[in-house]
Structure 1
Amino acid sequence: MNELDSLVESAQQLFAQSATPAELENAKAQFLGKAGRITELMKGMAQLSVEEKKSRGAAINVAKQAIEAALTARRQALADAELQVQLKAEALDVSLPGRQRGMGGLHPVSLTQERIESIFGSMGFDVAEGPEIEADWFNFTALNTPEDHPARSMHDTFYVEGGSATAPNLLRTHTSPVQVRHAVQHVKQHRALIDAGQSMPEIRVIVPGRTYRVDSDATHSPMFHQCEGLWIGENVSFKDLKVVFTDFCRTFFESDDLVLRFRPSFFPFTEPSAEIDIQFQTGPLAGRWLEVAGSGQVHPNVVRNMGLDPEKYIGFAFGMGMDRLTMLRYGVNDLRLFFDGDIRFLSQFQ
């Protein structure tokens, strides 16, 4: 073995013993650095003849290439080893079940609202929306509840900034104000027909949405959901109210043997007025009368505030709590569960 072969073998052995990239670079310097052994051999060729330089230079280059090849191989080996350590440290146990993101769904009250809108939509009712921050006139006065009316005490609510001392703004206590707003717009749209003494298209609308009152217990919440209904025309009677609401309840609860009763009551915006109770004939609530809505013939003063002549136009209105309907449909006995945000409870309805 000549000198150059021995040099290559020494480099290969030293590279193989290098356990880290830093050690390997130090070993490289001994052979290929500025003061390395290959560099020294190249410098020693200065005293050789031209022919000797050719043969000696070629041999040294072969040795240099062999050392560089050994260095590259060791660098790759160290990099591969480091990668394997990293992969092992970050390894995933593919035998574990995957973690899936749960699918969301509609809130049970939203499901009830969709169901109500679908049922009344099949009867020809439109859906109307209005502001939750309402003017005192629409919320009370237009609905035949003037400032000194005792019924206002039943609607204690949250007043907000804006408006004036005589006409304050408040969080609406029911969705009935939207009935008036919708009717007023409807009358404006068909004013020419009305002034000409012709028949105006009927007003047939439901108004679902959030409402607010100072009240909180197992069956009441400061924020709750209502759905009001209104049907105004020239020949709309209490009989129509009974037919419409009976059909709605039996469809909503999927029970053809559901019994309804209309119990006399008082509301400022209807006259005559009635509470609507239902009775299931089967199931855990069988035999019990359950109040689900208030209703009545629209009061003449309210019809006037809509811009219509109560001598010509007549109709009925009703209002029901969507939260209560949801409780009855799903057998929930505490309203607060709907708004606690417990995903374990809410996921049952998906």
Structure 2
Amino acid sequence: MRATVRRGTAVVAATVLALGAGWAHPSWACGCGAAVGDVDVHGESTVVHFADGVQTVVLRLDAESAQSSAALLLPTPAPAEVALGEAEMFDELAALSRPRVEYVDQWWPEQWYEAGEETAGAPPGGVAVLDRVELGPFDAATLAADDAAALHDWLDGNGFTMPDDLAEALRPYVEEGWYYVAVRLDAGEEALSGALAPVEVVFPAAEPVYPMRLTALAEHGQYARLYLLADHRMERADGVPVPSRVRFAGPLAADGVESARLRDLIGPDGAFLTALDHDIPSPEALTGDFVFRPAAADAPYQEVVRLERPVYVMGVAAGPFTAALGVLAVLAAAGLATGLVRRARRLPARGSGPRGR
């Protein structure tokens, strides 16, 4: 069943929850939520697509845990359609946005001699389940709730145990009338390890917004990479004191990518990709959400990394080798000049010998 979205602002916040009895204060949070318990999330990438009043968010987390089950809780301002995401698009977007490498010949490297080869190592006061569907290893439910305590109790009763501080952090979303996507992942008998299958949610939207308020619960610094796909280059438009670093900006064509889902998002008219990195050393600074708007111009950008490439001649650095040749040439020229002078001095002067009568 597809849920009908009744509100327009596009916001998705992801909270990673370990399923089990033991819980700890969040020690690591994904860029748009919080990780608790025995789940260690050490990487996050998110695709945010916005076009024609519809926003798509695809979230992929890299996690390590001794447990075999985990869950995502995604507050949304309206009921969302949930599906499995495509992992291949993340690899392709990472390749498309990677820096361009330029090599600079270094004739004077620190090591003057070339090294040999080395081995390199909802209803009032309650919770309503609007939809529930199984998606491969996921069990996804779309919820409505107008009471934080009721939402907490429902999550507790369905295996989504929450720490008290996270429940309190969700209270503003409940008060603002948001909806929720609860996604349970069961890895069977194996412990969670590596990249988890991506989750995709889609809903109508008035503007692209990426929620960050739950990240303030994290005890350690955070990192978030956002791939924004829209009609134009995008930029931050909020007052949150966390800067964005542009890693890539440029147009994409559907026939220029291999990922089927990425082709769908780009569409026949193409899309503009803006890749933004966010280093967040102080999560408590996240008092608001990231809001985006079109930039003044669709100026392309690709980061350039310049690497020094040592130049060796006959196993010796080109700079010292050339300098040595120059010195030898000067010495040889000086020696030749000295020899010519000495030879000239030994020769008798022309016309200075005895003359016959």
- TM-score bracket for this pair, using the shorter chain length: under 0.3
With the length of structure 1 as denominator, give the TM-score of the two structures.
0.22
Q: Which structure's residues are more often helix, by fraction? A: 1
Structure showing greater radius of gyration is 1
- The TM-score, its normalising length taken from structure 2, stands at 0.21
More strand by share: 2
